[in-house]
């Protein structure tokens, strides 16, 4: 990391440049990760923000979490025998089961991906 400084009067100010990268908007998990870093990992959040690493990290976490939730919900539904025929015969039961699967998957993903302490891919 190479930061240059400019002297103004008796003080040196860092030459910080705003990144003009046009990143796509964050989803639910990316926003949760950002809030977590802001509130619990302030130094890491500041470092990533200054080095222009924050937004790509948040996008990666968001994409990874969405993919994992989808995969887990699909696996849970398959394991429990929740099929399209159940959806057509008993839609309320199907919705209830799918909501339970999604809640369980999100609880796991939030702990393993969004609220993990490091910024490297999870090895759990």
Domain boundary assignment for the chain: 25-114
Whether pTM > 0.85 for this model: the answer is: no
Please name which of 75, 23, 28, 77 lies closest in space to residue 54, comparing C-alpha atoms: 23
- For each of the chain's 124 residues, which pLDDT tens digit applies? 577 889 999 999 888 776 667 788 899 999 999 999 999 999 999 999 888 899 999 999 999 999 999 999 999 999 999 999 999 999 999 999 999 999 999 999 999 999 987 776 444 4
Q: In the 8-state DSSP scheme, what is residue 22? A: -
Pair of tokens at residue 57: 């990290």
Pair of tokens at residue 61: 């976490």
Contact 62, 33 (CB under 8 A): yes
């Amino acid at each position: 990391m190479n930061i240059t400084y400019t002297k103004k009067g008796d003080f040196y100010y860092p030459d910080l440049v705003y990144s003009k990268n046009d990143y796509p908007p964050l989803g639910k998990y990316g926003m949760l990760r950002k809030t977590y870093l802001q509130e619990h990992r302030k130094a890491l959040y500041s470092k990533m923000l200054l080095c222009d690493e924050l937004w790509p990290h948040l996008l990666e976490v968001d994409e990874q979490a969405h993919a994992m939730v989808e995969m887990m919900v699909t696996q849970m539904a398959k394991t429990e025998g929740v099929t399209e025929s159940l959806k057509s015969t008993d839609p309320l039961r199907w919705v209830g089961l799918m909501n339970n699967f999604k809640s369980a998957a999100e609880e796991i993903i939030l702990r393993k991906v969004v609220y993990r302490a490091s910024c490297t891919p999870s090895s759990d």
